């Protein structure tokens, strides 16, 4: 099995997959929740019952062909920093990181698959892909689910579907989500209208690390809320359609901003570049917000297109737990801000200043950027 140090040595495959559709959709994630039949669910199970469930599930997961050479560990054997690193990489949930003995994680070498054992449910498995690839992610994860059913018996009701701890996951047990970068809608003051329209059709909008977290760096997660009464394919098709519409409105907003107020756009991107290249102290929130503008600059032509991949890698590497792991010791907030600035300066050293020739180019009239009152 893989060591933790080997797992986090390289960025995940989904972090280096390119800029995606219009540069707005960073990642697609599919999660399936499953529980073992005739075993108490984790929240009601005694310690020995949780241990028995873990002992049953872990070998079955490790035996999957897709998990060959995977990282597999009980959470009680990981430090708090190591667990937080996995949270920052979206490989386990914040709730799972708070657990210890009786819980585990099995993560593929590529980090495209990760399975949480004894989280809220016995088994929560997820697949992550770059860009808008919800259908591909589901197809891959459904294959793992089918393979596991050959060795594990899941709690299933012919009427209700898969039984889960939380009623909102009942049925398919499916949670599909996409991470979007929406600086154009934020800068044009349209983000509130868009999020309201998304909520109207029963989709949830969350922050960078899911439910209850703040949106930083203009990053938003959009996901389904209910899983009962619809097929997996129906849920995914509807979400993909809405994500595509939001991404298109984001692109329209970017083009309209560049057309109507190019100096404002160039100023914000230039200031972000200056701060990131020359800061010696910078906190997470400020760094993420400036990296958002740098990524926008890559999409609009101020920087090379591959700037987006550089920014995406930094989004993870400058998080608090990653900084402490990199330093090999616990850091004070002040030390983290200093080391974060040092890493950003180093990574951006070869990135030349913004190419403002884009401002002199005559573009076609941008389409109407106004989002609809609701999505279909």
> Is 88 domain-assigned?
no
The whole-number average pLDDT for the span 326-349 is 95
Residue 8 above 50 pLDDT?
yes
pLDDT of residue 362: 41
Band of pLDDT at residue 267, cut at 50, 70 and 90 = very high
- Report the first-to-last Cα separation within the chain, whole angstroms: 45
> Is 276 domain-assigned?
yes
Q: Cα angle vertex 276, ends 270, 281, to 5°? A: 140
DSSP string, 148-171: HTTT--B-EETTTEE--SSGGGTB
pLDDT of residue 25: 94
- Whole-angstrom distance, CA of residue 82 vs CA of residue 80: 6
Contact 345, 277 (CB under 8 A): yes
Question: What is the residue range of 305's domain?
Answer: 260-360
Its sign, for the CA torsion 155, 161, 162, 166, is negative
Least confident of 121-125, 163-167, 334-338: 163-167
pLDDT of residue 87: 95
> Is 286 domain-assigned?
yes
> Is 272 domain-assigned?
yes
Mean pLDDT of the chain: 90
> Is 348 domain-assigned?
yes
pLDDT of residue 136: 95
pLDDT of residue 123: 97
pLDDT of residue 359: 75
Residue 227 above 90 pLDDT?
no
Count, in order, helices (H) and strands (E) of the chain.
Answer: 13, 10
Percentage, residues of the chain above pLDDT 70:
92
Counted domains in the chain: 1
Q: In terms of pLDDT, which residue wins out, 173 or 10?
A: 173
Band of pLDDT at residue 207, cut at 50, 70 and 90 = confident
> Is 292 domain-assigned?
yes
pLDDT of residue 112: 95
The whole-number average pLDDT for the span 165-184 is 93
The whole-number average pLDDT for the span 200-227 is 81
Band of pLDDT at residue 369, cut at 50, 70 and 90 = low
The whole-number average pLDDT for the span 260-284 is 96
Q: Which residues lie below 8 Å from residue 297, measured CB to CB, with a gap of 6+?
A: 269, 272, 273, 303, 307, 354
- Whole-angstrom distance, CA of residue 302 vs CA of residue 294: 9
The whole-number average pLDDT for the span 168-192 is 93
> Burial, 330: exposed, middle or buried (Cβ in 10 Å; 0-12, 13-18, 19+)?
exposed
- Whole-angstrom distance, CA of residue 134 vs CA of residue 102: 31
> Is 301 domain-assigned?
yes
> Is 59 domain-assigned?
no
Contact 103, 119 (CB under 8 A): yes
Residue 373 above 70 pLDDT?
no
pLDDT of residue 74: 95
Band of pLDDT at residue 36, cut at 50, 70 and 90 = very high
- Whole-angstrom distance, CA of residue 339 vs CA of residue 344: 9
Residue 12 above 50 pLDDT?
yes
């Amino acid at each position: 099995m893989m060591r933790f140090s080997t797992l986090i040595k390289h960025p995940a495959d989904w972090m280096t997959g390119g800029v995606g559709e219009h540069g707005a959709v960073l990642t697609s994630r599919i999660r399936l929740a499953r529980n073992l039949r005739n075993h108490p669910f984790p929240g009601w199970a005694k310690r020995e019952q949780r241990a028995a469930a873990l002992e049953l599930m872990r070998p079955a997961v490790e035996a999957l062909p897709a998990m060959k050479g995977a990282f597999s560990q009980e959470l009680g054997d990981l430090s708090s920093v190591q667990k937080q690193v996995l949270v920052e990489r979206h490989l386990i949930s914040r709730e799972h990181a708070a657990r210890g003995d009786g819980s585990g994680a099995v993560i593929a070498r590529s980090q495209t698959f990760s399975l949480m054992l004894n989280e809220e449910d016995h088994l929560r498995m997820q697949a992550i892909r770059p860009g808008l690839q919800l259908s591909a992610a589901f197809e891959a994860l459904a294959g793992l689910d089918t393979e596991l059913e050959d060795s594990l018996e899941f709690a299933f009701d012919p009427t209700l579907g898969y039984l889960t701890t939380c009623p909102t996951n009942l049925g398919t047990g499916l949670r599909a989500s996409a991470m979007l970068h929406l600086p154009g809608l934020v800068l044009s003051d349209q983000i509130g209208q868009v999020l309201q329209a998304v909520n109207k059709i029963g989709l949830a909008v969350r922050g960078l690390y899911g439910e209850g977290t703040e949106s930083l760096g203009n990053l938003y997660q959009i996901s389904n809320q209910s899983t009962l009464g619809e097929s997996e394919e129906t849920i995914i098709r509807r979400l993909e359609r809405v994500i595509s519409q939001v991404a298109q409105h984001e692109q329209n907003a970017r083009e309209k901003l560049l057309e109507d107020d190019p100096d404002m756009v160039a100023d914000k991107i230039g200031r972000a570049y200056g701060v990131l290249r020359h800061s010696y102290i910078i906190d997470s929130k400020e760094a993420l917000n400036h990296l958002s503008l740098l990524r926008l600059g890559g999409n609009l032509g101020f920087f090379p297109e591959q700037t987006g991949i550089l920014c995406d890698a930094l989004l993870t590497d400058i998080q608090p737990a990653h900084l402490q792991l990199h330093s090999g010791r616990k850091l004070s907030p002040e030390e983290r801000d200093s080391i974060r600035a040092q890493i950003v300066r180093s990574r951006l050293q070869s990135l030349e200043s913004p190419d403002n020739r884009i401002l002199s180019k005559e573009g076609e009239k941008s389409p109407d950027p106004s989002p609809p009152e609701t999505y279909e």
